[in-house]
Amino acid sequence: MPIPLRLTIAVVVVSAVATVLWMTREDQRNRLVWDHFDVVKPNILYRSGQLNLDQLEAAVRTYGIRTVISFQFPGPAVARERALAKKLGIDFINLPMPGDGFGREEQFREVLAATDDPERRPVLIHCARGTCRTGAAVALYRLERDGWTLEDVAAEMARQTYRHGWLPGYVYGMVQEKPCAELCEPPIARDHNLPIAEKADAR
């Protein structure tokens, strides 16, 4: 093989490898955006979908996160996340909820308690995709802590691809000073959300 051809092939291979490495780094960095990462309120509350460990560590260091709250059910991903939080010296709270976001009021109140505590914030909350469970928690925060209108909350939920901008009835039911309910979906407790006793009665 002529030397010029070998040199050309070598340059192409090196360029391809460099491109793959660059794209990998960009993928890891941009996943913060792809997984619905967003600033709810600077230095207080952040939201996202499930980040891998490198992304989570980057978020913690970039935004000074002190508390991570996961709405995922316990499993290997939660265990790894808890271990990373311990390594980084930050708090980790697991508040498992069904994927439709139909959580218990005390779980959502625990999120508000964390954001109210200067020693525990900034707080990062997340679920699998950063939409339903995370969106419900952010909606309650906006209504009770930021005093947003229902229309503003619905618009934000629509931007985050949650139920076309409808406020879930169970979130509206928890709000202490309720705004107009025209944009509120009625609360629907699906079977897997019911306590064991209620499931037995329903059969």
Round to whole Å and give the CA distance between 131 and 142: 15
Token pair in block for residue 47:
């939201």
Q: Contact, 122 vs 65, CB < 8 A? A: yes
Q: Going by C-beta distance under 8 Å and a sequence separation of 6 or more, which residues neighbour residue 148?
A: 142, 156
Share of the chain above pLDDT 90, in %: 50
pLDDT at 154 over 90: no
Q: What is the pTM for the complete model shown?
A: 0.74
Report pLDDT for 146: 94
Homologous superfamily, domain 34-202: Protein tyrosine phosphatase superfamily (3.90.190.10)
List all residues 6 or more positions away from 72 whose beta carbon is below 8 Å from its beta carbon. Answer: 50, 78, 94, 96, 126, 127, 128
CA distances from 30 to 41, 67, 162, 199 (A): 20, 22, 21, 43
Q: What is residue 182's predicted lDDT score, i.e. its pLDDT?
A: 66
Of 63, 45, 73, the residue nearest 138 (C-alpha): 45
pLDDT digits (tens, 9 = 90+) for 87-134: 999 999 999 999 877 889 999 999 999 999 999 999 999 999 998 899
pLDDT in tens, 28-41: 444 445 578 999 99
| Structure confidence at residue 169 (pLDDT) | 77
More confident residue, 134 or 16: 134
User: What pLDDT is stored for residue 185 in this prediction?
Assistant: 64
Stronger pLDDT, 52 or 18, i.e. the higher one: 52
Q: How many CA atoms lie within 13 A of 152 on its CB side?
A: 11
Q: Which two tokens stand for residue 120?
A: 């525990």
pLDDT category at 199 given cuts 50, 70, 90 is very low
pLDDT digits (tens, 9 = 90+) for 46-97: 999 999 999 999 999 999 999 999 999 999 999 999 999 999 999 999 999 9
Each as own residue / partner, the long-range contacts of residues 75-78 (CB below 8 Å, 24 or more positions apart, any chain) are 77/50
